[in-house]
């Protein structure tokens, strides 16, 4: 990790005791104010809502409030470091939701990693919120948790590590292909990392029309020949086209590499074995699968990473504020695969003339959230 940045970040967090606080919308200066915002006035508000629960959107902050839920089992690239250690990351997401989409997002970390218990807790607190953002929950548990909550709640649920990542990868790839003048139907894609992000990327690329996708995990290429696959990897088999046995085998002659895995596992030699005008998205954080400079030196035409200190940062922070803004504003109860593709296309469209050094908009581009929101109508 860049130690100078870490040191400054620690000092900043210590100074402010975290990144978020609750602000008050109404004046509380005297007894009259108090009688309106609390008892007895608030009793009338509660009675109105008891007669019509939909009025919570009229009389409370619920319509603009979401929960960010984590169990601390897969925090960034740090692994299972526990719920307390996940709090700074969830607070950070709360800041981004507020800054970019004016959404009030509450960070909630859970002291359990039991699937049934997590589902029970989230369902229990759901009346407070208009949407649920699942975050940093390890695979394969995250798939079951998300699917069951989607089916059992009447508000939208999104696991951002899956779908936020998949959407921004597709957006970047749409523009990268324009630069290298290749078609989605003819390119060969290798995705390294078969966890939450890797499987979601496979699904969205397949839906968009990519037909040659190899998915690789720590034991090699995902294929029917293997007998060690968990259920989520078995379920993805119809969408993948295995190439070889190892990552190196799969990357030989490939047009696109997408890494959502581990640091320093791709060599210059492996990049050199790829097809001409190769696209390399090395997105492991904080240390990518191959450093961008090394990938470029090895012949990659377009290189992207998840880091802000290199060009072409592919980060789900480009996605989730706009997606949830759309979910809330249009009272959408379920995020569909087609909505995810539309969100990716909206992001890609903001770069009018993509180049090797610019395939994705800057996270501070104020057009991003409205573009994604409008795409979800």
The alpha helices in 226-361, defined as continuous H runs, are 231-236, 247-251, 268-272, 292-297, 320-329, 337-349
CA distance 361 to 188: 25
Query: Which residues pair with residue 257 across a beta bridge?
Result: 190, 280
| Burial annotation 277-298 (CB, 10 A radius, 16+ → b, else e) | bbbbbbbbebebbbbbebbbeb
CA distance 134 to 96: 15
Give the chain's length.
377
Angle at CA 87, nearest 5°, toward 308 and 196? 65
CA distance 314 to 172: 7
E strand spans, 144-255: 157-159, 189-192, 213-217, 220-221
Catalytic residues: 38, 93
Say which residue the tokens 């590590």 belong to.
161
Of the candidates 195, 150, 197, 133, the one whose C-alpha atom is nearest the C-alpha of residue 170 is: 197
Do the Cβ atoms of 233 and 194 come closer than 8 Å?
A: yes
CA distance 160 to 133: 7
Structure tokens at 13: 């967090």
Of the candidates 351, 348, 368, 376, the one whose C-alpha atom is nearest the C-alpha of residue 96 is: 368
């Amino acid at each position: 990790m860049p130690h100078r940045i870490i040191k400054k970040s620690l000092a900043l967090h210590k100074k402010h005791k975290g990144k978020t606080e609750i602000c008050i919308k109404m004046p509380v200066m005297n007894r009259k104010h108090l009688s309106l915002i609390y008892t007895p006035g608030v009793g009338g508000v509660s009675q109105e809502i008891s007669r019509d629960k939909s009025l919570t959107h009229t009389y409370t902050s619920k319509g603009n409030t979401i929960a960010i839920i984590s169990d601390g089992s897969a925090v960034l690239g740090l692994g299972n470091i526990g719920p307390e250690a996940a709090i700074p990351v969830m607070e950070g997401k709360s800041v981004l939701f507020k800054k970019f989409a004016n959404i009030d997002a509450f960070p909630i970390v859970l002291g359990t990693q039991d699937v049934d218990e997590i589902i029970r807790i989230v369902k229990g607190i759901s009346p407070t919120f208009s949407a649920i953002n699942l975050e940093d929950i390890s695979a394969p548990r995250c798939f079951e948790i998300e699917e069951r909550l989607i089916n059992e709640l009447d508000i939208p649920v999104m696991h951002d590590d899956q779908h936020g990542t998949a959407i921004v990868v597709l957006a970047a790839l749409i523009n990268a292909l324009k630069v290298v003048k290749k078609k989605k139907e003819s390119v060969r894609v290798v995705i390294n990392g078969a966890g939450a992000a890797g499987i979601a990327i496979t699904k969205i690329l397949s839906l968009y029309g990519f037909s040659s996708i190899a998915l690789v995990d720590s034991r090699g290429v995902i294929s029917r020949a293997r007998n060690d696959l968990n259920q989520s990897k078995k379920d993805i088999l119809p969408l993948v086209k295995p190439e070889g046995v190892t990552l190196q085998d799969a990357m030989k002659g490939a047009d696109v590499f997408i890494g959502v895995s581990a640091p320093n596992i791709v060599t210059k030699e492996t990049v050199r074995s790829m097809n001409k005008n190769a696209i390399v998205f090395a997105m492991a954080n904080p240390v990518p699968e191959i450093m961008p400079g090394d990938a470029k030196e090895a012949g990659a035409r377009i290189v992207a990473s998840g880091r802000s200190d290199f060009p072409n940062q592919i980060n789900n922070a480009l996605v989730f504020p706009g997606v949830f803004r759309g979910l809330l504003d249009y009272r959408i109860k379920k995020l569909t695969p087609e909505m995810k593709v539309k969100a990716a296309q909206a992001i890609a469209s903001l770069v009018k003339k993509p180049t090797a050094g610019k395939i994705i908009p800057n996270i501070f581009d104020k057009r991003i959230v409205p573009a994604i929101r409008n795409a979800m109508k």
